[in-house]
């Protein structure tokens, strides 16, 4: 059986191997974006699970071999679903559902908050079209009933702010304890 250290090591290795790739036309790398998002969650006193979700919300981009500019070529990599499937092996819904729903939260906020869309970066606006665009009123109502709605919206807002070029953050290893606390309880304990 895998230990918590094994899982954390695999996640860190994925970031170390692929995290320096471009983040979909933004001025930051995948790793910089993940660290900025997790830092914002931490600064807002989020739970360990939501900090972990913030760190790992775009890990789906690291799990495929599509080009970095796939959205510019009209390809939706459905990274939120790839991430959720991958993370479900290790984490409870308090981590995986905000990750799975963060794209829907962008659609929701674009549909319900008057100024939200204008604050999105150009690459985020382009990907919104591929991800389904604005929500219908029925979709809005349904999304608001989801038990992870609030966490998904928080994650989405941190996600949108986490695109600052050359912003200094703690290294990914600084989030190991958040990840360890968030892992499913049946993984074997070992010291960090």
Handedness of CA 17, 36, 169, 179 (dihedral sign): negative
pLDDT band at 153 (very low <50, low <70, confident <90, very high): very high
For residue range 45-102, what is the model confidence (pLDDT) as tens digits?
999 999 999 999 999 888 876 666 656 666 556 778 899 999 999 999 999 999 999 9
* Confidence (pTM): 0.90
* 65 vs 129: CA distance, rounded Å: 22
Helix (H, G, I), strand (E, B) or coil at 65: coil
pLDDT score recorded for residue 23 = 67
DSSP code, position 120: S
Enter the CATH code of domain 4-182. 1.10.3210.10
Nearest to 173 by CA among 40, 5, 33, 25: 5
Q: How far is CA 130 from CA 125, 139, 167, in A?
A: 9, 17, 29
Report whether pLDDT(124) > 70: yes
The pLDDT of residue 76 is: 58
């Amino acid at each position: 059986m895998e230990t918590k250290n094994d899982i954390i090591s695999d996640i860190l290795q994925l970031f170390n191997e692929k995290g320096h790739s471009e983040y979909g036309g933004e001025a930051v790398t995948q790793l910089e974006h993940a660290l900025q998002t997790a830092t914002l969650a931490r600064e807002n006193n989020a739970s360990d699970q939501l900090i972990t979700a913030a760190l790992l919300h775009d890990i789906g981009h690291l799990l495929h071999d599509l080009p970095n500019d796939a959205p510019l070529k009209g390809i939706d990599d459905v990274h939120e679903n790839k991430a959720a499937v991958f993370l479900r092996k290790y984490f409870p819904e308090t981590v995986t559902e905000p990750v799975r729903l963060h794209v829907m939260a962008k659609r929701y906020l674009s549909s319900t908050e008057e100024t939200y869309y204008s604050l999105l970066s150009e690459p985020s606006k382009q990907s919104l079209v591929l991800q389904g665009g604005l929500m219908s009123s029925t979709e809005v109502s349904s999304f608001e009933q989801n038990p992870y709605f609030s966490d998904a919206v928080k994650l989405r807002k941190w996600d949108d702010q986490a695109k600052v070029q050359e912003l200094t953050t703690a290294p990914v290893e600084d989030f190991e304890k958040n990840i360890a606390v968030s892992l499913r309880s049946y993984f074997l304990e070992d010291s960090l």
